[in-house]
Amino acid sequence: MGLDYLIYKLSIPVLILCLLLLVSFLWIGKPWQSFPPASNHVSVRRCVLAISGATLGTLLSIIFLGEFDLGNIIYLSIILIPITWVVSIFMGIPSFILLARYGQATLMNILFIMGAIILLWSGFIYIYPYNNWCSANTLACLGREMSYAIPLIGIPSLGFGLMARLPFIKQMTS
């Protein structure tokens, strides 16, 4: 019941923030313009595109998980989109800046970081099972957790990297 009240109170602010992100995506983002070929160029425009890509990836992952009812999609979106923004701003953008500083900002490195986060989560579930069934059926529990973690972490990470227009692999310069 408390979560329903939270969803009710968060629905208007999340909608307003989504509209602001859409306006900034079109005004600051200018997705029709190209970036310099160097992958180590970080700008506000690229960060806005990356956060909007992670948001779009979150919406796609909600649909991918099989929640096709419109009420469930709206309910999960109001919960997961603010979490996506917080994670993108406090983990994604600093990781992107750090990788770009060393010239390693590629889509493969973003996906590698995503895989490491999923493995850390699975290791945490392995060490601290959250119910008796997970204690008895460790591999089945890990498989179930990874089947939820890969879409919920992987698709937004892929959207983050694709919308930031990161190269797939680092181009060797001669």
Domain ranges for the chain: 2-163
Residues 11, 78 contacting (CB under 8 angstroms): yes
Q: Burial of 19 by CB count in 10 Å (0-12 exposed, 13-18 middle, 19+ buried)?
A: exposed
Model pLDDT, residue 174:
47
Least confident span in 26-35, 48-57, 74-83, 132-141: 26-35
**What is the pTM for the complete model shown?**
0.77
Whether 143 has a pLDDT exceeding 80, the answer reads yes
Q: How far is CA 160 from CA 61, 73, 171, in A?
A: 13, 21, 20
Q: What is the Cα–Cα distance from 64 to 57, expressed in whole angstroms?
A: 10
User: What confidence category does residue 14 fall into, taking pLDDT thresholds of 50, 70 and 90?
Assistant: confident
Closest by Cα among 63, 54, 26, 60 to 161:
54
Q: What is the DSSP string of the chain?
A: -HHHHHHHHHHHHHHHHHHHHHHHIIIII-TTSPPPS-TT---HHHHHHHHHHHHHHHHHHHHHTT--SHHHHHHHHHHHHHHHHHHIIIIIHHHHHHHHHTT---HHHHHHHHHHHHHHHHHHHHHS-SSHHHHH-HHHHHHHHHHHHIIIIIHHHHHHHHHTT--SSPPPP-
Mean pLDDT of the chain: 79
User: What confidence category does residue 140 fall into, taking pLDDT thresholds of 50, 70 and 90?
Assistant: confident
Rounded percentage of the chain residues whose pLDDT exceeds 70:
84
User: What is the per-residue pLDDT across 23-43, written as a single tens digit (0 to 9) for each?
Assistant: 776 666 565 565 555 556 777
Handedness of CA 66, 158, 6, 131 (dihedral sign): positive
Q: What is the Cα–Cα distance from 152 to 148, expressed in whole angstroms?
A: 6
